[in-house]
Every structure is written in C-alpha cells, then in structure tokens.
Amino acid sequence: MNRGMNSSEMQKNNRTLVFKTLLENESMTRTKLASEIGLQKATITNIINEFLEMGIIAIDGDLASGRRGENIRLKLDGIYIMSIAITRKDYQIGVFSLSGVQIQHVRYQFAMEEDFRIVIGRLKENALALVEKLGKKKIAGVCLAVPGPYIRKESIGNDMFQVSEFEQLSQIDIRTELEAALGLAVMIKHDAKLSAYAEWRNLKEAQEDKNVSLVVIRSRGFGIGAGIIINGKIVEGQLGIAGEVGHMGINYNKKRSRNEREGTFEYGAGTESAIRYMQEQLYAYPDSLLHENSTYMEIAKAYQAGDPLAVYAIEKMAWMLGFGIANLIYFINPDCVILGPDYPNSNAFLDKVRQVIKDLVHPPISDRVMIRYSALDEDSFLLGGYYYTLERLYKENLILEIIRQTMD
C-alpha cells in the first residue's frame, strides 16, 4: 500500500489504474493487465467484475475467468469531453468521445474589430447547443485553451490574461461566464501547453520512455508560445507561465521592455516577422511578386515557389528561430523540439533551423536533440484539452464516479 493512502483510496486508485490501462489499449487479458499494472490477478478480477456490473466493459472470447485468450475491452458509448480554444482570430469547440475520437467540431472566425462580448455570446450559444444535444450528464469534463501569458487563478486570486494586442480577453471572466452558461465546471489552460501535451501523448519515443522531454514552439501571428513537457508533466512554474519564451530577449541592440517587443524572440522569429523582413528588402528584389501588403501566408507560399524575396524573409526568420531554440536547448536540454504547423512545412526551412542550432550548440548536445515538425494538425490544442481533462479525472480518481453519474 502507498504510504499515506488508506484502503478506500487504494481501491479507488486501483480501479482508476485498470480503467486507464484498458482505455490506452484496445483490449487486454487479465493476466496482461495484472502484469502491466503490478496488481494481483485476484484484484484485477474483482475490478473487472465491478466494471461488468457497471456495463462499461465487454469480454471477447471464453467468459471463464482467467482463461487464456479472453480479451477485455472498454465500451464507453455516449460519454464525452468538450475542448474549447480561443485565439485572437477564432474560437473552436471540439467534442471527443472518451476514447479520443473527435465527433463534433465548430469553428467561428472573427475580426479583432468585432465586439468581443458578441463573440463570447456566440461561443456560449454554440457550446450550450452541443451540451444540450449530447446531454449535460454525458459531458465528463470541459477544458478551455487560451493564449498567453495566462496567470492561473489559484496563484493570484483571479485569472489574469496579459495577451499582447488582445486586451478584450482580459476584460471578461471567460471561465465564469462559460461555467454559468453550460452548468459545468471548466478547466482552463494555456494553449501552447495543451499542444505540447498532445504532442507528448502521440510521440512514439514518449510511449517507450515516459522520461522523454520535449518543447513545442508555436507562433500564431506575431507571438511565440511554448509548451514544455518533462518526465510526462507539463512544466508550469510559480504562476503557470513557464513556456512564455516569446518574451525572451535575444537581441539587445533593440528595445526591450514590458511594452516594447523589439529584441524579443517573438519579434525576431514569430511568423509575422517574415512580413517585416520582406518589407525591409522589398525594393532590393524588384522581380518578386510580393508587395508591401503581402500576408504571411502569401510569403510562405512564395517561399515554397522559390521567390527570392520570400526566401530571404523566411530564412531570416528561420535563423532567428534557430538562435532562440539554441538557447532553449541549453536551458531545458530536451530530447525533442517540435515546431507547430504555423511555420513553413518545408525540408529547406527545417534544415536551415537545424543548421543554425548546429552552429550554436556543442555537437555532443545538438546531435542528441531531435528537431522536427508537428505530426498533429493545427487544432492540436483541442486534442491536448481532451488529454489534459482525462488526466485530471484520473489524477483525482473522478473518472469512474462521473461515468456512474452518466448512467443514472
């Protein structure tokens, strides 16, 4: 028995552990379960019998207890996790089955000039419509992903948002409003942290070695955010703002203060920096198809086509990105650094970033860090919200209690 854990707590913990192991595997025998978890086979059998009474498992093969070939699998129809994400340009709502399949998705794009109160009102309407469609009792948890810096409530008494050029978010108690609208508790987390957690849960190396550490770098516009996972845990920091690497100073020839972004990592390597680099050299490349008002997406597309001005702008951004990552490698010493889908998906771009890192980081270190693109889509923070909610329910031993409530 774990020190400090009474018999009742131990039983809850064992049930949760069996449930989690079954959910992460398509099917398992009792013998395999006992071996995987480290519990006695009799304990496994008692828990399986309890799950049978709840109606949440099916047994394929011979029903005789412990027979070789008997496979146990969960059947969890009609239990869901809702994951919501809000950015400077849109909000998204994803509904996942408990096994991790996204079954509903809503996205609404808005302009920064729009009345943010109206945007939040629409978000609440969309989320409530899904809750009513599925049934409130069927929602096991709700997670909200927000941009940063976000300082979590328990650290300071109130949630605090300090998102550059997104002051509207700071003027609304979005968690409280969502909870009131849905009648459900809402967990809130920085979107880059959730993206990193989704990456870690899907990283092959992490499944083989839970001590694998990674950094995920995303840039949705001018900002840069990072999620850091060490030993399978999201790195939070005292106020929950660990990973705000975009505010890291990397060029002290430029201005650097709380209100001036010049000289910061995000100013130099955020995706919108490519626009500034393009504009700085616009007249040096008269044959380029780009113009003063070209967007980042247009520059990225021109880069793929070999436009020389676009190549200049994107490669300069790649150099600054590699410079910042080199610093992070010395700070964190990760196994893997993953670039989000915001950056150009190009071998040439990735090679440029890798070369800068190789030039700046000692070979015995740089050779042992994997630099690659995300294998997930742009909505990885929604998937991260699903994983994070599920993990919280495991940690607090609430998952089975919630499942019972959905069946009442």
**pLDDT-derived band of residue 163, with 50, 70 and 90 as boundaries?**
low
What single-letter DSSP state applies at residue 260? B
Question: Would you state the pLDDT for residue 161?
Answer: 59
Distance separating alpha carbons of residues 163 and 224, to the nearest angstrom: 11
Highest CATH level, class, for 7-74: mainly alpha
Domain 195-376: top CATH class = alpha beta
Whether the CB-CB separation of 305 and 297 falls below 8 Å is answered with: no
Encode pLDDT of 26-74 as tens digits.
889 988 999 999 999 899 999 999 999 999 999 886 544 445 558 899 9
Q: In DSSP terms, which residues pair with 145 in a beta bridge?
A: 85, 189
Determine how many CB atoms are found less than 10 A away from the CB of residue 355. Answer: 13
CATH 3.30.420.40 domain residues, the chain:
80-184+385-407, 195-376
- Give CATH 1.10.10.10 domain extents, the chain: 7-74
- Cis before 334? omega within 30: no
The C-alpha atoms of residue 368 and residue 242 are separated, in whole angstroms, by 23
pLDDT tens string 85-101: 998 888 999 999 998 99
Looking at residue 253, its pLDDT comes to 66
CATH architecture of 80-184+385-407: 2-Layer Sandwich (3.30)
Query: For residue 12, what pLDDT is reported?
Result: 92
Nearest to 177 by CA among 144, 133, 138: 144
What is the per-residue pLDDT across 171-199, written as a single tens digit (0 to 9) for each?
A: 788 888 999 999 999 999 988 999 999 99
Give tens-digit pLDDT for 299-322: 999 999 999 999 999 999 999 999
* CA–CA distance, 86 with 365 (Å, rounded to integer): 37
pLDDT classification of 1: cutoffs 50, 70, 90: very low
Mean pLDDT of 124-136: 96
Handedness of CA 169, 170, 171, 172 (dihedral sign): positive
Task: Name the nearest CA neighbour of 149 among 261, 284, 244.
Answer: 244
**pLDDT for position 208:** 67
- φ, ψ (nearest 5 deg) of residue 50: -65, -40
DSSP string, 52-113: HHHT-EEEES--STT-TT-EEEE--TT-EEEEEEE-SSEEEEEEEETTS-EEEEEEEE--TT
Asked if 242 and 233 count as a contact pair (C-beta separation under 8 A), the reply is no
Sign of the dihedral defined by the CA atoms of residues 307, 308, 313, 319, in that order: positive
What whole-number percentage of the chain has pLDDT above 70?
A: 88
Number of H helices, E strands in the chain: 17, 14
pTM to 2 decimals? 0.88
| pLDDT confidence of residue 63 | 47
